[in-house]
Amino acid sequence: MKKLKDRDLIAKTCILAGKIMLESGAETYRVEDTMDRIAAAFGLGDAQSYATPTGLHFAAESAAIPGFIRISKRTTDLHKIAKVNHISRAISAGQLEVGNAYQKLLDLRNDTQKFPSWLQIVAAGVASGCFAIMYGGAWQDFLPAIFTGGAGFTTMLTIDRFFGIRFFAEFAASLIIGLLAVFFVYIHFGIVLEKIIIGAVMPLVPGLPITNAVRDLMAGHLIAGVSKGVESLLTACAIGAGIAAVLAWL
C-alpha cells in the first residue's frame, strides 16, 4: 500500500495530465483514458475520472486532493496532447517515477511557446488561397483569397485577444472577409466572389471541434459530444451571419 502522500501526488499527476489535454482540445474519452492509465500504472486503485469540456472530476482511494477542476479556456494545441500521451506511455512502461512525471507535466503546462501571430496569419492566408483554388476558383482569385483570409484571421485574433468572446471575434472576422471579397471583385482584382469567400473562411471553420464532437458521441460521451457540437454550431452561425450581413447589404 502506497503512502498517503504518494497517493495524493499520483492523483495530482492524473488531474494535471487531464487538465492539459482538455485545455489543448483533446477528446474527453481520451482524457479519461489517459488519467485512468496513469493511475493504474502507479498502482492507484479504484480510480474514477469524468471529463467534460468545462470541468474535470477525479476520485481515487484515500486521495485527499480536490476532485474537481474547472476548465475556463480551451484552445487547439496538438503538440501538448501528443506530449501528454508520450509521458503517459512512459509511465505505463515503468520509465518514469511519479515525481518526475508530475514535474514533466508542470513544465509542459507552463510552456507557453506557440507559433507567433504573424506566422499564424501568413499560414491562414496561404491556406485561404489554396482552398479557393481547390474549390474551383480561378488563379486570379488566389491572391485576393490570401489577402482576405489573412485580414479575417488577423481580425479574429485581435478581437479574441482583447475581448475574449470567440463568437464576436469570428463574426467580425467573417464580416471583414465578406467586405474585402466584395471590394476585390468590384475593382477586378478577383473574379469569383463566392470562391474567394469560401477560401478565406476555411481557417475559421471549427474542423477539429466538430471531429471531436462526433468521436465523443460515438464513444458514448453524450454530454461532451453535444456541448462541443453546439459550440461548433455557434461558430458556424457566427461565420455565416457575418458573410450574410455583407451579401444582404449588396
Residue 95 in 3-state DSSP?
coil
* 91 band by pLDDT with thresholds 50, 70 and 90: very high
Q: CA angle 48-51-53, nearest 5°?
A: 175
Measured CA to CA, the distance from residue 176 to residue 170 in angstroms comes to 10
Q: Please state the rounded mean pLDDT for residues 57-63.
A: 75
Q: Per mean pLDDT, which range of 51-55, 73-77, 141-145, 229-233 is the poorest?
A: 73-77
pLDDT for position 164: 74
Classify each residue of 123-147 as buried b or exposed e, where b means 16 or more C-beta atoms within 10 Å of its C-beta: ebbbbbbbbbeeeebeeebbbbbbb
Flag whether pLDDT at 67 surpasses 80.
Answer: no
Give the span between the Cα atoms of 116 and 102, in whole angstroms: 28
Count Cβ atoms below 10 Å from residue 157 Cβ, excluding itself. Answer: 16
Report d(CA 213, CA 135) in Å as an integer.
25
Secondary structure of residue 234 in the 3-state scheme:
helix
Spatial separation of the C-alpha atoms in residues 197 and 182, rounded to whole Å: 9
Q: Return mean pLDDT, the chain.
A: 88
pLDDT band at 113 (very low <50, low <70, confident <90, very high): low
Q: Do the beta carbons of residue 243 and residue 178 sit within 8 Å?
A: yes
